[in-house]
Every structure is written in structure tokens, then in C-alpha cells.
Structure 1
Amino acid sequence: MDFLVGGLAGVGAGFFSNPFDVVKTRMQLQGELRARGQHNVYYKNVPHANYTIVKHDGVASLQKGLVPALWFQLVVNGVRLGIYQHADDYGLLRDEKNNTKFINSMFFGSLAGMVGAFFGSPLQLVKTQLMSFSSEKIAVGTQHAHSGMTYAIMKIYRKNGLSGLFRGAHGMMIRNSIGSASQIASFSMSKEWMDNNNLFQQSKYLSAFIAGNIGAIMKTVTLTPMDVIMTRLYNQAVDANGRGLLYSGILDCARKITKTEGLLAFYKGIGPSYLRQAPHSVLLLVFWDMLKDFEKYLGLKKLNA
């Protein structure tokens, strides 16, 4: 049940944050392996990017990749939050005073994120390629022209087999490990501190809301460099053997970005990334709290039946 609760929380949050994910993906691919001033800038900032996408591709394009995005949320957060909650249920996260141990929270948050990312990696691959596809006038990165999630999965599988669908999974595991550890640990610790000090207790979920924002900030700062790398790796074209045509792996991608675009390129799209992470983290973690409470309520009803 913990896995279902985590997955449903992710799906609920994913629907509202998906447009920012589309913008983030486009901005991370913009100017790929080009120095500043040597490429077209189609997406100047978040408002301009939204306007440009709607103008050329229509309003519905802001929800590109929504289907694999929601499946990704269901799988990744179902596994991630489920593992973390199980660790808490078995007493692995708290001390004798029931306070969260920071190191334990980081470790299990990292482990849970890594496992969830492995199972969700094919969906993230497809989602990235669907989100990057646009009209020719504002196209950035490799254009894969998939007509939908099922078509994309079958096309990748026919060309490169199962390994093609899991291309970049190791990088995704590192990415999610970093993001999950920073998000869950900062959320748990800050929410617990507010609750223990009777701060922001006007509403049952107000402390969760504020802690979710703190988690979003921490996740955005720590996650964005690896997120840029993974967007590039997932979106690049591959040869018949499934090898990337632009990057051979994480280190090669990082080296080429540094050489051609500079270190600041690792924070491309940080604006929409935060605007995505903030509502997503808040909704995800608040939904998680609410669904856990609802689960307990259903359990009490069964006990009283």
C-alpha cells in the first residue's frame, strides 16, 4: 500500500508540473554544444518560452510527454516513497526520541531514488524525446518525431532492443539518488523541526507545504547539473548499436558541455526547473502526507468494523 500511496502522490503532482518540465527540457537542449552567442535563442525565459511554444505548437504542446510523465511519476515515486516509508516503518530512520536521523534519511532517500530511477528510466527517456519535439522554427536538440508513448517505446525497442530503452539508466540512477536524498531529507527534517517547535501549525498541512518548498529548493540546486546531462544523453540520436552520436556517456557529456558552453550551462533551465520542482515537490509531499493519513483512517475503519 505504501508503494501505491507514493505513486498516486507523484501522479497528482506530475499533472500540474508537466508544462514547466516541457520548458525546462527545451531550455536545457537550447544551444547544445554551441558557445554563447553562436546559436539561436528561441526560449529566453520561462514566460517567453511558454509564449513561443503556444505560438508555434499550440497550447496542448505544454503538456507534451504527459502520458509517460505520469507513468514515470507512478513508477518512480511509488518505488521511491514506498521504500522510504518502509524504512521508517521498520524504525530505520528515527532515534529513541522519534526524531529523524539526518544521515539515515539521506541514505534511504538516496537508495530509494536510485531504485525508483532504474525502473522509471525508459519512461524518462521517452518523455524527454517527446517533450523536445517541436515545429522546425523553434526546434532544439535531436528531433525524434514520435507520435506517442507506445510508438516511441516500440520504435526504440525495434532499433536497439531492451538495452536501448534502458540507455542512460545508470545516469538516471545517479540523478535521482542525488535529488531524492536532498528532497526527502530536507522535507522530513524541516517539517519535523516546525512541528516540534509548534511553527506553522495553523493548518494540518501548512508545515508540509513549507517543508515541500524547502525540499524543492534543495532538490533544484543539487539536481540541475545532472539533469542537464541526462536530458542531453536521453535526447541525442544513436547509431544502430545504440551508441550516442554526440556523447559516449556522463563524463564525456560533462566534458563537452564544459568545453563548448561553459560551466554555467550546467544550470541551464534552472528557472523552469525550480518552477517545476516547487509545485511538484509541494504537491507530491503534501499529497503523500494526506494519502498516508487517509490510509491510516481506512485502517482504523477496518479495526472498528
Structure 2
Amino acid sequence: MGLGIYQHADNYGLLRDDKNNTKFVNSLFFGFVAGMTGGAVGSPLQLVKTQLMSYSSKKIAVGTQHGHPGTVYAFTRLYKENGFFGLWRGAHGMMIRNSTGSASQIAAYAMCKEWMDNNNLFQQSKYLSAFVASNIGAVVKTITLTPMDVIMTRLYNQSVDAHGKGLMYSGIVDCARKITQTEGLMALYKGIGPSYLRQAPHTVLLLLFWDMLKDLQKSMDLK
């Protein structure tokens, strides 16, 4: 969904200047919009996934335990306890997370690849510059995304009162403040290593295939 929105913006001429160079601010903005839209749509699934993955045996349980035996049960229980919009609890965290990640990833990739192509760097094979640029995009995305991943996980997994209000954190800013006060600033970067190992293959494959599909579409349009 995110790349679809970004590509449509490019198709309508909203990302490039008169010389067909990518405008950094425009790329960042539409990447932000694309990520926020995807985050809003996928938030209920992320909520259930986080609560299911956090559940463990009482002997080793850490943090809030929701005790969902399965996905369907989790959705049904959340709906019954907090209503339809209860499925979007913590969605603001997910939306900011996705928008931050997508904006940094796509903008870094687009600007780096364009710079390499314009300066004849990594041109030994057709998609080598795309491969290098996507790796840079993965690094930038991981650095900007990890704090929001930590915050989002805390927001999704906390206990709530009868009105669906979080008992530990009131929102993103409150969560970030409490984490840094009690655990230190670097606590926002917990798991950054595994996060990069997860983001790198995803980013490289996503953006490489995106580049290939754009080339395929161009070749079909010429026929």
C-alpha cells in the first residue's frame, strides 16, 4: 500500500523537479503519508500480533499477559471489551512508526540511487546501484524506526481500564518520557541489531523488486 501511494505521487509528477530529479522534501512527505496510511490500516493486526507474541507461561511471564489462545479469539475479545475502535488502540504509535520508517527508507533510497546513477557509481550491473541504495535505506530506516518500535510495543501490550485507557502510558510522549527516565535514553534503541537484520532483507528485496517492476511496466508500455 505504501509504495503504491508513493508511486502514484511520482506518476502524477509530485516528486520531481523540471530536470526529473527527486525533490527530497516531497519524497519525505509522500513517504510519510504512505507509511501513515499503511499503519492505520494494519494497526489491529499489529495489536493482536504483539499481544499474542508477548503471552507466555506464568513461570516466565514478563509484562502484561493478555492470554489470547488464538487470533480470532483475540479480535473477538478486544471488540467485546473495548468496541470497534478498541481494535485501533495504540494506532497512533503504529502510524507514526510506519510514517517515520517509510519516509526515511524511501527518501534515503531514492536520493542515494539517483546520486549514484548521476555520478556513474555502482553501474557494473543494472540493479547494483539499487542494491547499494536499498541497503543504505535499511540502515537509515532502522536508526529512525527503532525508538518507535520500542514505544509502539509498550503501548500495544499495556493493560487498559474499563474505558480502554492505558494504565501505564497515556500516549507516545508519556511512554517515551517514562522509558528514558527509568531506563535511560539508549533504552529506545533496544534490539536495534536484530531490527536491522530484519529490516535489511525486507528493504533490499522490497525496493529491488519495486525497481524491477517499474522497468517491466515501462517496457510493456513501449510495446
- TM-score by length of structure 2 reads 0.92
What do you get for the CA RMSD once the two structures are aligned? 1.8
Aligned to 2:111: 189
- Is 1:277 matched up with 2:199? yes
Q: 1:118 aligned to 40, 54, 76, which one?
A: 40
Q: SS at the partner of 1:171?
A: helix
Alpha-carbon distance in structure 2 between the residues aligned to 1:222 and 1:112: 16
Distance 1:202 1:135, change over 3 A: farther
Aligned to 1:134: 56
Give the aligned residue type for 2:5. Answer: I
Alpha-carbon distance in structure 2 between the residues aligned to 1:143 and 1:128: 11
Mapping for residues 145-156 of structure 1, pairs under 5 Å = 145-156=67-78
Alpha-carbon distance in structure 2 between the residues aligned to 1:205 and 1:131: 37
Alpha-carbon distance in structure 2 between the residues aligned to 1:145 and 1:198: 56
- TM-score by length of structure 1 reads 0.68
Alpha-carbon distance in structure 2 between the residues aligned to 1:176 and 1:155: 26
Alpha-carbon distance in structure 2 between the residues aligned to 1:277 and 1:271: 10
Give the aligned residue type for 2:142. Answer: T
1:202: Cα distance to partner? 2.5
1:87: Cα distance to partner? 0.6
Alpha-carbon distance in structure 2 between the residues aligned to 1:152 and 1:294: 41
Aligned to 2:141: 219
Alpha-carbon distance in structure 2 between the residues aligned to 1:146 and 1:279: 31
Question: Which deviates more from structure 2 when the two are superposed, residues 278-287 or residues 136-145?
Answer: 136-145
Q: Which has the higher contact order (CA 8 A, sep 6+)?
A: 1
Q: Which runs of 5+ in 2 are unaligned?
A: none
- Is 1:203 matched up with 2:125? yes
Aligned residues: 223
Alpha-carbon distance in structure 2 between the residues aligned to 1:281 and 1:165: 28
Aligned to 2:6: 84
Give the aligned residue type for 1:107. Answer: F
Aligned to 1:51: none
Alpha-carbon distance in structure 2 between the residues aligned to 1:90 and 1:216: 26
Q: Which runs of 5+ in 1 are unaligned?
A: 1-77
Alpha-carbon distance in structure 1 between the residues aligned to 2:66 and 2:39: 23
- Tell me the alpha carbon deviations over residues 4-53 of structure 1, each in whole angstroms, 9 at most, x when there is no partner: xxxxxxxxxxxxxxxxxxxxxxxxxxxxxxxxxxxxxxxxxxxxxxxxxx
- Tell me the alpha carbon deviations over residues 263-298 of structure 1, each in whole angstroms, 9 at most, x when there is no partner: 11111111111111111111111122223334445x
Distance 1:104 1:138, change over 3 A: same
Alpha-carbon distance in structure 1 between the residues aligned to 2:124 and 2:83: 54
Give the aligned residue type for 1:262. Answer: G
Q: SS at the partner of 2:83?
A: helix
Aligned to 2:83: 161
- Is 1:239 matched up with 2:189? no
Give the aligned residue type for 1:286. Answer: L
How high is the sequence identity, in percent, across the aligned residues?
76
1:136: Cα distance to partner? 4.3
Distance 1:126 1:203, change over 3 A: farther
1:201: Cα distance to partner? 2.1
